[in-house]
Chains A and B, each alone.
Chain A
Amino acid sequence: MKLAVGPLLYLWERNAVLEFYASLRESPVDIVYLGEVVCSKRRPLQREDWSDVARMLTEAGKQVVISTLALIEAESELAALARTIGTSGGLFEANDYAAVECAAGRPFVAGPHLNVYNAATLDLLVRRGARRWVAPVELPLATVATLAASHREDLQVEVFAYGRLPLAFSARCFTARAHDRAKDDCGFICGDYPDGITLYTREDQPFLTLNGIQTQSAAVQNLHSHVGVLRDGGVNVLRLSPQSRDFLAVVDAFRGAIEAQSSPAIPAPFLPGDYCDGYLDGAAGMSNATPWRRDPAPG
């Protein structure tokens, strides 16, 4: 079972991005997804910077995958997509069928936004070059397991194991809207929120997270205590989604769980909103079958 670092979903400053990826060099992760999935306007790094990061991680023994946009509207975004796929020597992650079309049979990772819910669709993507499949976040493990069973030999299966869940995309930038700014004149206000802006109900329940055109959960989905059933279900790769703090501790906790050692404890959530894991059993994603205990168990 492998550990993957998902694409950075937020806008961080250049130095923070570089430091984050440098910190992964010595960490026990196997796969690192680079690139922008949410907003084509964000450019924290130049293309040469991304190449340097990719080379540094590859030399450290990590598999580097270039992720691509989930919502592609403009001609310029299609051109950038074709360029990314054309120049990436290794794997890329398709998050829109435009990317699958661009791939023209080259190997790729079928990202979580391609809506694969059944074997017929998965078979089609495997025939078109998919080598790994990241399940949609709302797909129950039972369904993931059924689909995984039909591709034991030719496909890796990845699930979103840790992080605020990417739930929706819009043409509208909700971060700009919350600041009364036009999308075209956003001033990159999302850069002020390294883990997104928490949206609360009117009785102060942390409910969702605004991240530009993306809406995420406020709770962090945490499948740390389910690593065994994930493995039994045919899951080969666990995706950990970057956050601004405690990330290496999260990596260590998951690595411990995979190795079935006396696993280091998962850090307490530092974001408003608790841990959740409801999607695993097909329940409401925000629910929590194994409530997080803030107090360590006695002994």
Chain B
Amino acid sequence: MTEAHDVELVCPAGTLPALRAAVDHGADAVYIGFRGATNARNFPGLNFSAAEAATGIAYAHERNVRVFVALNVYPSPASWSVATATIDNAAAVGADAVILADPGLMAYAVQKHPTLRLHLSVQASATNWRAIEFYRREFGIRRAVLPRVLSCVQVERLIARTTVEIEVFGFGSLCVMVEGRCALSSYATGHSPNIQGVCSPAHAVRWEETPQGRQSRLNGVLIDRYAAGEPAGYPTLCKGRFRVNDTVFHALEEPTSLNALDVLPRLIASGIRAVKVEGRQRSPAYVAQVTQLLRRALDQCSKGDREAATDIKDALDQVAEGRTHTLGAYHRRWQ
């Protein structure tokens, strides 16, 4: 059985201030991306230049915190040289690991930077030990981040069959689809997580005030319509309201956040090595708050508490998408 103090808290940073916030509030590791279409949070005003990454890594290392660089798109021939240059940059600035999804890039990294630690991105869609074994045997990956589609029992059984460290999502936005196997965004907009590192991109979003209420559209497709006074969320297309047969509802998923706090002791007991917080697009204030709360929750688990304190859960709900949370697939009934 793994002790809780072995479980690393991995927090997001889209900017240098967010990185400092994560480091100062208890992260064991921070993950970042370089600018451009090389990572799954390719948003305007976000991400690091090589110089900023070097500054951030120095700040983190002085405080004994590790920094991982996410490069989790699938580069096409046109963007291949940018992607390999990003790996070279990550190695040059002293990243503690790169988080990759594309097998071709892993082959490049192994060949050019044999001592660089490789983590398998959630975007690689590895949902079973045998797929993880492929990446371990081919590229020597040291850690795999599991897609948000497995139940607690499935996570336990997977860990029992692999020597690769397992990282799971603990808090943040919820992908209802298997990450890396979702083309909904490109179907509607031409831009996808796999190719451009975006989902339901802002440039395709239009808001309208109509007699029926406020409406959100994605490249012209009506994603949702809100009654007066109803809170409106970002039109991520899998979280819209649609009609199926005769019912209008959130046919794929409600706008809600993943919060694994209720199963954290169980996940830790099953041998996870890291808990990840989603949200490189979030503000430094958000990163500080969520990092601090998850730090407390992990510390409580390490003291043997079986349940997270109510005030931690309440505080996380306050910052959650839709101000509600779900255990997602960890809880079999969600599926």
Interface residues of A (CB under 8 A from B): 70-75, 77-78, 81, 96-98, 100-102, 113, 115, 117-125, 136-139, 143, 146-147, 165, 167-174, 177-178, 182-184, 197-205, 207-208, 210, 215, 217, 278-279, 282-287
Contacts and interface: CB of A to CB of B under 8 A. Distances in A.
B104 A121 contact: yes
A101 B137 contact: yes
B92 interface: no
A208 B74 contact: no
A285 B329 CA distance: 29
A241 B45 CA distance: 42
Contacts of B74: 115, 117-118, 121
A199 B244 contact: yes
Interface of B: 74-78, 80, 101-105, 107-108, 124-131, 133-135, 137-138, 149-151, 154, 157, 176-178, 180-184, 186-190, 192, 194-195, 219, 221-225, 238, 240-245, 247-248, 251-253, 329, 332-335
Given A183-B335, A207-B242, A199 B251 contact: yes
9 contacts: A72-B127, A97-B126, A170-B252, A171-B150, A172-B335, A173-B335, A202-B224, A285-B190, A287-B190
A174 B252 contact: yes
A199 B242 contact: yes
Contacts of B247: 178
A128 B149 CA distance: 28
A122 B77 CA distance: 11
B128 A182 contact: no
A115 B194 contact: yes
B335 A138 contact: no
Contacts of A165: 183, 187
B184 A168 contact: yes
Contacts of A283: 190
A119 B124 CA distance: 17
A273 to B, nearest CB: 12
Contact of B130 (A98, A138, A210): A98
Given A71-B149, A201-B242, A284 B130 contact: no
Contact of A210 (B125, B251, B332): B251
Rank and list the top 9 A-B pairs by shortest CB-CB distance, nearest first.
Answer: A120-B104, A171-B149, A121-B104, A98-B130, A117-B74, A285-B187, A101-B134, A168-B182, A97-B131
B251 A178 contact: yes
Nearest to A115: B74
Contacts of B222: 201-203, 205
B178 A171 contact: yes
Contacts of B186: 138, 279, 284-285
A283 B192 CA distance: 11
Given A98-B128, A284-B187, A285-B186, 15 more contacts: A71-B181, A72-B130, A97-B126, A117-B76, A120-B104, A168-B181, A169-B182, A172-B334, A172-B335, A173-B335, A200-B242, A201-B242, A205-B221, A208-B184, A210-B244
